[in-house]
Amino acid sequence: MDHETERTHAFLATSPTRLQGASPCAEPRAYRPCVVHSVFYQSSWLSEVVVAITLGTLVLNSPLSRMIGLHIEAGRAGDPYERGLRYTGKWLLRIAIILMGLRVQTDLIGTKFFVQIILVLGFTLPVTFFAAHVSAGLLGLRRELADLIAIGTMVCGASAINALAPVIYARRRDQGLAVGTVFLFSLAALITFVPIGTATGINTESAGLWSGLAVNDLSSSIAVGKQFGEEESLIAATAKASRILLLGPLLIGFSLLRRRTPAERNVRVRFAAHLPLFLAGHVLMFAVRILGDTLASGNGSLDATAWQAVLRINDVLVDTAIMTVCAAIGLQIQLNNLINTGWRVALAGGAAWFATAGLSLGLLVAISKGFIGYALLGGSVTLLTPSWPFVVGVPSQFPSKQESQRPNH
Give yes or no for residue 215 having a pLDDT over 90.
Answer: yes
Residue 289: CB partners within 8 Å, gap ≥ 6? 101, 102, 103, 104, 105
The mean pLDDT value for 146-173 works out to 88
Per-residue model confidence (pLDDT) at position 388: 58
Contact 405, 140 (CB under 8 A): no
The one-character DSSP state at 33 is -
Per-residue model confidence (pLDDT) at position 128: 94
The mean pLDDT value for 43-53 works out to 66
Contact 152, 215 (CB under 8 A): no
Q: What percent of the chain has pLDDT over 90?
A: 23
DSSP characters for 234-296?
Answer: HHHHHHHHHHHTTHHHHHHHHHHHHT----HHHHHHHHHHT--HHHHHHHHHHHHHHHHHHHH
Express each pLDDT in 16-43 by its tens digit.
Answer: 333 333 333 333 333 334 334 434 444 5
Per-residue model confidence (pLDDT) at position 73: 58
- pLDDT-derived band of residue 150, with 50, 70 and 90 as boundaries? very high
Per-residue model confidence (pLDDT) at position 265: 44
For the chain, what is the mean pLDDT? 77
- pLDDT-derived band of residue 357, with 50, 70 and 90 as boundaries? very high
- In the chain, domain spans: 32-73+80-398
Q: What angle, rounded to 10 degrees, do the helices at 93-100 and 304-330 form?
A: 150
Express each pLDDT in 228-242 by its tens digit.
Answer: 988 898 899 889 988
Residue 157: CB partners within 8 Å, gap ≥ 6? 179, 182, 183, 186, 216, 217, 218, 220
For 107, other C-beta atoms within 10 Å of its C-beta total 7
| Residue bearing the bigger pLDDT, 102 or 189 | 189
Give yes or no for residue 77 having a pLDDT over 80.
Answer: no
The whole-angstrom separation of Cα 195 and Cα 41 is 16
